[in-house]
Structure 1
Amino acid sequence: MLIQTVRFGQLKVPDEKLIKMQKPILGFERLSVYCLVEKEEFRPFLWLQSVEDPAVAFIVVKPLVFFPDYRIEVHSNELAELMISRPDRVETYVIVTMPEDATRMSANLQGPILINTENNRAKQLVLVNSDYRVKHSIIDALEGADVSAVKPEEELVGV
């Protein structure tokens, strides 16, 4: 499928790479199909690009890159909604806010996005009884990070 984007121009995305949100991202209720755009110059960040609106793209990152102790509990009904059979089939991303002053860059750890890599069904969770907030400073996390402590992603999601 060819999609038009504001940031990257025209992109060719195989149908099997289209990510279908089972519930929309908060504030973007009319959009349900996305794709991940990976550009070497932006690593470890990716773009979650809307297929339906060329102007909508979120900067995302796997939370363990900056927050190695990040853990979430996922209810069985959410696993069923995404048809997740095994935790190692889930990729977790968080939306990053990147203001002009990059030292104020933050990650939304309260609203992770889970993607089932087997069928590309996805959902943004809203973590309610947790210590995670919508804005966690990435710079502060970098200053206190122990990169050797980063765990495999399958240890991120608990059921």
Structure 2
Amino acid sequence: MGFEDKHEFTLLQLKDGSPFLVLQSMDDPRLGLLVADPYSFLEDYPIRVGEAEQKLLRLQNIRQVAVLVTVSIPKGEPEKTALNLTGPILINHQAKLGLQVPQVDGKFPNQVYLHMPQE
């Protein structure tokens, strides 16, 4: 939503087995977003996807879609790492299409803080 002029992205794995990835812009090498699979941290995270979004993503079944959420790590405060649950990014890996789908039902808080050990 915030990068409407950027259309080409790739997912980069940070480390084997890590739930964190970088959604890297192919249009602007300075733009990369830290993202994660929310289901690595939450058991239940329902997402509403309207008909318009389903058509844009060319979704025919749930197995086609990957769900990612952005991750924020405040500078100097890694203990405040948080998942943004209000704007999941859905990716149809077969069609190679992605879309941010804002969630407005208010079922979840805006962010969930992760309790991560400090190394």
What TM-score does the superposition give when structure 1 sets the normalisation length?
0.67
What TM-score does the superposition give when structure 2 sets the normalisation length?
0.88
Which residue, out of 98, 107, 118, partners 2:83? Answer: 107
Mean alpha-carbon deviation: is it higher for 49-58 or for 36-45?
36-45
3-state DSSP of counterpart to 1:72: coil
Aligned residues: 115
Larger Rg: 1
Distance 1:129 1:43, change over 3 A: same
Aligned structure 1 segments of 4 or more residues deviating by more than 4 angstroms: none
**CA RMSD in angstroms, aligned pairs only:** 1.6
Corresponding position of 1:57: 32
Whether 1:31 aligns to 2:6 is yes
Distance in structure 1 (CA, Å) of the matches to 2:108 and 2:30: 28
State the one-letter code of the partner of 1:84.
Answer: L
Structure 2 runs not aligned, ≥5 long = none
Shift of 1:125: 0.7
Shift of 1:42: 8.0
Q: Percent identity?
A: 30
Corresponding position of 2:112: 136
Question: Per-residue displacement from partner, 1:38-85 (whole Å, max 9, x unpaired)?
Answer: 122681200000001111101111100011111112112211111011
3-state DSSP of counterpart to 2:87: coil
Higher helix residue share: 1
Distance 1:28 1:134, change over 3 A: farther
Distance in structure 2 (CA, Å) of the matches to 1:110 and 1:132: 8
- Show the 5 A alignment for 1:1-159: 26-40=1-15, 43-99=18-74, 100-139=76-115
Structure 1 runs not aligned, ≥5 long = 1-25, 143-159
Corresponding position of 1:157: none
State the one-letter code of the partner of 1:60.
Answer: V
State the one-letter code of the partner of 2:94.
Answer: E
